[in-house]
Amino acid sequence: MKLVILGRNGVINEVREGDVKSPGDWRPIPGSLEAIADLNQAGYQVIIATNQPGLARGLFDINALNAIHRKLHDELERAGGHVDAIFFCPHRPRDNCDCRMPKPGLLRQISERFYCDLSEVPVIGDSKRHLVAARAVGAQPVLVLTGHGLETRERLTETDTTPIFPDLAMAVEALLRDENPEG
């Protein structure tokens, strides 16, 4: 099974001051939806893993989150793509749950639900929490410089070998090129 796990805010859609609390707040990063469609056409299952502490904080409810994700699905469908699942952690950092990245619980849920080992599965994110969670399950962390990616890159050590790309479109282009070097 070919699988890619993506963060949502800062990877697929623009980061907003505060939270994305409604469908009107959700705006895709240019090229991100087309990149997901490219993954789909190459036979990849695409999963989103996202922390959504705004639920626990009461900034939005599950109906608003579902409406945001409906907009994501609709816009992605217009771009010729789809996501196979969205996994989210609804907790605040202080709740100390296992599913809030950087802890690996959310990624383990994906592994269990899709009956797969995440070894070498790309986990593409814009923050250190994505990279840490990916490493904890043996997945391949990938950093994009959209969202919080620039700040995250500044905090990486010199010995960190995480692949870094300007955005999701470039990360997907490299993944597909590496998969098919003749193409």
Domains belonging to the chain, first-starting first, are 3-179 (3.40.50.1000)
Flag whether pLDDT at 181 surpasses 80. Answer: no
State residue 1's pLDDT score. Answer: 84
pLDDT tier, 19 (very low <50, low <70, confident <90, very high otherwise): confident
In the structure encoding, which two tokens stand for residue 73, read together?
């699905």
Region 84-102: mean pLDDT is 96
- Is the pLDDT higher at 178 or at 150? 150
Please report the beta strands in the chain, taking only residues with DSSP state E, as ranges in sequence order.
Answer: 3-6, 45-51, 85-89, 122-125, 140-144, 164-165
In the structure encoding, which two tokens stand for residue 34, read together?
């087309």
pTM for the full model? 0.96
State residue 75's pLDDT score. Answer: 98
State residue 16's pLDDT score. Answer: 86
Flag whether pLDDT at 182 surpasses 70. Answer: no
Mapped onto helix, strand or coil, the DSSP state of residue 13 is: strand
What's the rounded Cα separation, in Å, for the pair 166 and 15? 15
Residue 39 host element (H or E): helix 32-41
Whether the Cβ atoms of residue 125 and residue 143 lie closer than 8 Å to each other = yes
Region 163-174: mean pLDDT is 98
Q: For residue range 98-155, list pLDDT tens digits in order.
A: 999 999 999 999 999 999 999 989 999 999 999 999 999 999 999 999 999 999 999 9
Q: For residue range 36-69, list pLDDT tens digits in order.
A: 999 999 999 999 999 999 999 999 999 999 999 9
In the structure encoding, which two tokens stand for residue 142, read together?
């990938």
Residue 160 half-sphere exposure toward CB, CA atoms < 13 A: 18
